[in-house]
Structure 1
Amino acid sequence: MNSSRKVAIITGASQGIGAGLVKAFRDRDYRVVANSRSIKPSSDPDVLTIPGDISDRAVAERIVKEATAHFGRIDTLVNNAGIFIAKPFTSYTAEDYANILAINVNGFFHITQLAIAEMEKQRSGHIVNVTTTLAEYAIDGVPSVLASLTKGGLNAATKSLAVEYAKRGVRVNAVAPGVIKTPMHAPETHAALASLHPVGRLGEISDITDAVLFLESAGFVTGEILHVDGGQSAGH
């Protein structure tokens, strides 16, 4: 087994930003372990797909075990899996709350803990958490308290982990997107969503993959929350 080439794990990898990240890392000649609940097998021998719910620790354990068994190492983890439910605060159900915490928080916790344990052995690695600008900059008319609760927690965890593991060779950063043009957003909503950004357009998937790859190559950057939001975080 040739274990000299770098390996990235990407969650939420079946469509949208996650699928874009798989392609972006493969274009850099990384081998990739891709997970989502609905992911299909890949014809690319350097892409290992593992279906399953990332909030289940057994799935996270399987991802890390298969990554090391097939590719011999783990260099990067991109915590891209997440769900967003826009409702007035008093309209959220207990099921909404449980589902968002399960994916956005539990899913982060299990896979990140296991991946960092492997990275510590090689004294190198990189975690990137995909969060949201809304966690820090709420917008009137975009109810997002559960996204802010969970993704804001990941922003805080990013900084905490970055400091905890800095001397052990593991960097931890986050990318905080604005609204990105993905299948999540129906075309008829694009104009209204674009108006949330000072630049007047939706973000493209490539805007996020470029940001993740920048952080991947920026060896002196850790604990950074990189806003990729068309100026949304700068003000309106």
Structure 2
Amino acid sequence: MDHKVALITGGATGIGKQTAIQLAEKGCNVVINYRNSALEAETLANELNRRYGTKNIEVQGDVANSSDCERMVSKAMEVFQKIDILVHNAGPYIQERKPLTEYEMDEWNYLLQGNLTSAFYLAKLVIPSMRKQKWGRIITMGFDRVETAPGWIYRSAFAAAKTGLASLTRTIAIEEAKNGITANMVSPGDIKSEWKEKTIADAVSYMKSAPERRREGTGEDIARTIAFLADEKSDLITGCILSATGGMDVLGKVFREND
């Protein structure tokens, strides 16, 4: 993927950071979007520049804001003149568990804008240039079994947004197939916060230190899945929702009131 340009939303930390590393390692120039993590984004861009010799920049913006999305894409186009790969990793999440009736209007709207409408903003901005070059990759993020439109107790806004995003991703795949653009969704397993920036080697080492431990999912696991879908030879794979859960029943907990 030498000289391809990838825009990664929420790319400064966590799974986004591991994705930036994975794509830069494969020769991509990376646009690292962040909302608040300015230092982390700048540090990562400089690290990728040194380690892989690619050209990487950081750009601030809240994906829930259409004008921010326009500015992010404009900056990327100014520097690189194209965006080949869009990894829509950013998406707000409210840790507090509460039923639908306890959501404030602003909370509900922000979760839908940040997780669903933001994908529309960005896709609308990047697809025209992808069409011109007859090549593009759009990768979104879901949750286990999102394609079945499951209910998720106390997570109504997030679940509704991601379910809508699954349908939108598949619609883009159908509409843009003739233009050489693929669109797929990756659904991570239950990856704990402290494992989002860790590697597969970290997980294997952790498991070996106590064999009764299960294999933890890591940011690298998801980043490798994203990189596979972004690869030039993955052009036949589109409209897919690919789970990376390690065989765990991740969704089982969403029906239980105590999880």
Same fold flag (TM > 0.5): yes
Partner of 1:227: 243
Partner of 1:193: none
Partner of 2:163: 152
Question: Deviation string for 1:162-200 (max 9, x for gaps)?
Answer: 010001111000001121122599xxxxxxxxxxxxx95
How far apart, in 1, do the equivalents of 2:56 and 2:3 lie?
A: 13
Q: How many residues align?
A: 219
How far apart, in 2, do the equivalents of 1:52 and 1:161 lie?
A: 24
Unaligned runs of 5+ in 2: 197-212, 253-259
Q: Work out whether residues 88 and 143 of structure 1, in 8 Å CA contact, stay in contact via their aligned partners in 2.
A: yes
Partner of 1:182: 193
User: Do the aligned partners of residues 137 and 234 (structure 1) sit closer, same or farther apart at CA in structure 2, a change above 3 Å counting?
Assistant: farther
Partner of 1:196: none
User: Do the aligned partners of residues 235 and 89 (structure 1) sit closer, same or farther apart at CA in structure 2, a change above 3 Å counting?
Assistant: closer
Partner of 1:214: 228
1:20 alignment partner, SS class: helix
How far apart, in 1, do the equivalents of 2:12 and 2:105 lie?
A: 27
Q: Which amino acid aligns with 1:160?
A: T
Shift of the alpha carbon at 1:84? 2.1
Partner of 2:13: 15
Question: Deviation string for 1:7-34 (max 9, x for gaps)?
Answer: 0000011211111111111111100111
Identity %: 32
User: Do the aligned partners of residues 157 and 139 (structure 1) sit closer, same or farther apart at CA in structure 2, a change above 3 Å counting?
Assistant: closer
How far apart, in 1, do the equivalents of 2:230 and 2:184 lie?
A: 9
Shift of the alpha carbon at 1:81? 0.6
| TM-score (structure 1 length as normaliser) | 0.83
Shift of the alpha carbon at 1:106? 2.3
Q: Which amino acid aligns with 1:48?
A: I
Unaligned runs of 5+ in 1: 186-198
Name which of structure 1's ranges 73-82 and 44-53 shifts more when overlaid on structure 2. Answer: 44-53
How far apart, in 2, do the equivalents of 1:89 and 1:27 lie?
A: 43
Q: Work out whether residues 182 and 205 of structure 1, in 8 Å CA contact, stay in contact via their aligned partners in 2.
A: no
